[in-house]
Amino acid sequence: MSTETSLVLFKPDAVAKQLVGPVLARFQAAGFHLRGIKMMQLDEAILHEHYAHLTHLPFFPSIVEFMRQAPVVAVALEGENAIAGIRDLLGPTDSKAAAPGTIRGDFGEDKMVNVCHASDSVEAAALELRRFFKEGELFAF
């Protein structure tokens, strides 16, 4: 086992439905520790960088529109095998395929309106954390 830090972005649907607290509580109950948290309005530049792997797809403009409709909450969570553990708690990207008891199964609607984004690898987490948190905004406990 290894200690990892993952980025979790609470998407506009989670913020609008006031799910940040209840979902964050699930992550913390599972043993993940908060290292950083902030609310922010995303602009096109950061969305193009964050979703660079999707810019060529026809649904990319819909992602940008959705992610800009309300602020998001960026969270850095740390714990043993955090990358896989957080993604397991979330369930599959498509909320319609997510089991009850998972975050997306309980609160999500579809592939885009699915409560949270979470890093999918240690390498992605390192890049994403630097993208959303400046030096000095992450804390160790």
Catalytic residue status for 53: no
Q: How far is CA 134 from the centre of its chain?
A: 17
Q: Which tokens in the block code for residue 110?
A: 């579809």
Helix, strand, or coil (residue 35):
strand
| Annotated catalytic residue, options 50, 53, 56, 117 | 117
Full DSSP string of 74-127: EEEEEEETHHHHHHHHH--SSGGGSPBTBHHHHH--SSSSSSEEE-SSHHHHHH
Helix, strand, or coil (residue 55):
coil
Give the active site residues. Answer: 117
